[in-house]
Amino acid sequence: MTITFIFFLGLFIALVGVVPPGLLNITAAKISLKEGHTRGIVFSIGVCLTVIAQTYIAALFARYLSNHPEVISILQRVAFVIFVLITVYFLFITKKQPKKQKVPKIRSKRSRFFHGVFLSAINVFPIPYQAYMTITLASFGWLKFDQISIITYVAGAATGTFVMLYVYIFFFDKIKEKPFTSQQNMNLIIGCITGIISIITFVNIIRAL
């Protein structure tokens, strides 16, 4: 397959993976609303840097993961604990924090960049997702595990992730005057999303036992 085709395969699969509202795209939109468009983009760049590493690792170990489902099982358990903690934080802890009527401290661009790197790093779902997709593409003969193909696919995945994050930033900027984009409601949205992900992950863990 051509390099261009592989690039767009990576872009499309990443778009599909990031389309559902999740922690990363909602956080990118939230930062853009509260601190400005530029910092939202900087956060997204940090996310994409981690996505590059995650997708590359997933491609390199795709065959290993397919032959050792217990590895994915371990990742699911780790993700479950992380998302439960995030859900508790956004649904309960943020509500108890006293409201202070003062100008919020705006973080630096560098801080938001590493914020994106960190949140993307604790989101381990792209690894099994991309591992599964690369194995599937390879089974169709659309992707080979040579270095050039992997790098091209990774570049497409990073581009697709950034495009979808930017779509969320753009969309929320257009509806920023709506009531549900307030600080409390944004926290509620994130908490509900991570709660749903936690439940789905827990069900998958139980079904795998």
Task: Tell me how many domains the chain contains.
Answer: 1
Alpha carbons 160 and 168: distance in angstroms, whole number: 13
Which of residues 201 and 165 earns the better pLDDT score?
165
Tell whether 88 is covered by a domain. Answer: no
Neighbours of 34 (CB within 10 A): 15
Task: Quote the domain boundaries for residue 70.
Answer: 3-79+104-177
Tell whether 185 is covered by a domain. Answer: no
Neighbours of 146 (CB within 10 A): 9
Alpha carbons 76 and 197: distance in angstroms, whole number: 11
Tell whether 154 is covered by a domain. Answer: yes
Alpha carbons 56 and 30: distance in angstroms, whole number: 28
Tell whether 64 is covered by a domain. Answer: yes
The pLDDT of residue 165 is above 70: yes
The pLDDT of residue 183 is above 60: no
Tell whether 98 is covered by a domain. Answer: no
The pLDDT of residue 163 is above 80: yes
The pLDDT of residue 4 is above 50: yes
The two counts, helices (H) then strands (E), for the chain are 10, 0
Q: Give the pLDDT score at 53.
A: 92
Calculate helix-pair angle for 23-35, 37-60, nearest 10 degrees: 160
Please answer whether residues 43 and 113 qualify as being in contact, where contact means their C-beta atoms are separated by less than 8 angstroms.
yes
Tell whether 90 is covered by a domain. Answer: no
Tell whether 192 is covered by a domain. Answer: no
Q: Give the pLDDT score at 63.
A: 67
User: 35-52: per-residue pLDDT in tens?
Assistant: 888 888 999 999 999 999
Alpha carbons 38 and 22: distance in angstroms, whole number: 20
Tell whether 194 is covered by a domain. Answer: no
Alpha carbons 194 and 82: distance in angstroms, whole number: 9
Q: Give the pLDDT score at 177.
A: 53
